Structure 1
Amino acid sequence: MVTVGVDLAAEAVRTAVAWLDWPTGRARLVRVVAGADDALIVEAAMAADKAGIDCPFGWPDRFVDFVTAHRAGHVQVPPGLAGRAWRRDLALRVTDQVVHQETGLTPLSVSADRIAHATMRCAALLAELARRGRPVDRRGTGAVVEIYPAACLKRWGLPYRGYKRAANLAALGHLVDRLQEAAPWLDLGEHEPLCRTSDHATDAVVSALAARAAALGLVTVPTEEQAGAATTEGWIALPTAPLARLVADG
């Protein structure tokens, strides 16, 4: 099995892709590219058994309805609600709210934060994969699955804050150390120095690990009640098993 992880930003310069090969009982980082363009991402996802993408797969349904109503001049505030209370469902998808309930972390709002730029790029990538015949299900059951690296790291008992940006290289190095301690079967090989200097590369590796968890069925899935929203908004797959299960089950 080969899994791919994509730390997706609005532009290629801050985007990274990682490829993990899974021989029996081990995982080997065979390639990492920082500064990945659309063509490379599509090529990687087309060839992978499963690809994990760190980016929202859609917008909140209620936000889409709100914008549509606003365009027509028919916005109405729900009775009995005011301010932040009624705007919450415009800013956060169902899966974002589930992640907050499960982990205490709140993903960036795709309708009220700059991550929307990355999601526009993601939407085009998912459409291209579908055009090329790769099944895309925003619930994560197809070729790709939505990943939130910080939540994965927290679920796996690893450092999940404070390792972003060049000013925090020491914290990033500590995260890589802890990851290798928790997963001694993970061989970063010649790509370890890049993981220690690029949080984008490390998040791509985490996304590739989470893609493996998704491929093995070791992640959260929408309930019947949540499935409708997940189909349009996307669904963040949270690991439900320790890192060691990634090699114990394959």
Structure 2
Amino acid sequence: MLTIGVDLAAEAQRTAAAGIEWTDGSARLTSLAVGIDDVQIVALAQGADVVAIDCAFGWPAEFVAFVSAHERGEMSPRSLSGRDWRRRLAYRHTDRAVREVTGRWPLSVSTDRLGMTAMHCAELLAAFEAAGERIDRSGAGRLVEVYPAAALRLWGVQTAGYKTQPDARMRAAESLLGLTPWLDVDDGQRDLLGRSDDALDALAAALNARAHALGHTLPVPDELRPAAQTEGWIALPTAPLDSLTSRSNSSASISATHSS
């Protein structure tokens, strides 16, 4: 099995991708690169079983309806207003599910710093469609939405400060590799993981892709499937890292520490 993880950024310069080849009881990091464009991502994904992308696949349905109504000049007074109403526009159903599991709100694709990257993701998904891919934003197809920072925390990786502090990033990389002794990583890849949070998130995404392939991710509730097919659905891992190899008999579930 081949899984691909993509840490998507607004531009190719900060976009990273990782590929993992899985065999019985072990795995090998076959590719790891930072600074790749959409054409390269689509090409890298050829032959992969699952492609996990770190970016929102869509916007909250109510937010889309709100913006469309505003554009048409059809806004009307609402019985629901204030913070609760705005939060409904800001967060998707999957964001609420992540909040329930992890105790933390993901960044809002509507109101936080994800807008430009989400636009890039829409372009990337269109590029996959143009190449013949069937896109199901709920994760039922080959492409799935992931949230590497949350996945790393759920797996017990030391993540504090890894996005901004070099020492913390090195500790996070060492922590992840220490929890995956069955993953073959060469010296150059190990060095890049310690230097680049984009590369580290891409690796986490590729691991998350394997979890999704094995059915070890948060399922979409039946009643939310139509919304997930429009808004996207974050495939949070629900089992430890050692469950990703067929050699392991681990079936233990994982849970997050609920904190704000």
TM-score by length of 2: 0.91
Contact 1:210 1:239 (8 Å CA) reproduced: yes
Give the whole-Å Cα distance in 1 for the aligned partners of 2:105 and 2:38.
Answer: 27
Unaligned runs of 5+ in 2: 249-260
Are positions 1:170 and 2:171 aligned together? no
The 2-side partners of 1:220 and 1:124 are apart by 26
Runs of 4+ more than 6 Å apart: none
Match of 1:222 in 2: 220
| Paired letter, 2:222 | E
In structure 2, C-alpha distance between the alignment counterparts of 1:249 and 1:227, rounded to whole Å: 33
After TM superposition, give the deviation of residue 184 of structure 1 in Å. 0.9
Quote the RMSD (CA, aligned, Å).
Answer: 1.4
Aligned match of 1:51: 51
Aligned: 1:207 with 2:199:
no
Q: Does 1:71 align with 2:68?
A: no
List aligned pairs for 1:151-170, cutoff 5 A. 151-165=150-164, 168-170=165-167
What is the Cα deviation at residue 43 of structure 1?
A: 1.0
Provide the secondary structure at the position in 2 that maps to 1:20.
strand
Cα distance in 1, alignment partners of residues 96 and 129 from structure 2: 28
Q: Which shows bigger deviation, 12-21 or 42-51?
A: 42-51
Aligned ranges 1:1-250 → 2 under 5 Å: 1-79=1-79, 81-165=80-164, 168-190=165-187, 191-248=189-246
Q: Which moved more, 1:127-136 or 1:54-63?
A: 127-136
Aligned mates of 1:34, 1:14 — CA distance in 2: 6
CA deviation string 1:216-242 (max 9, x = no partner): 111012101111110000000011111
Instruction: Point out the more displaced range, 52-61 or 215-224.
Output: 215-224
> TM-score w.r.t. structure 1 length?
0.95
* SS of aligned partner of 1:128: helix
Residue 15 of structure 2 contacts residue 36 of structure 2 at CA under 8 Å; is this kept in 1? yes
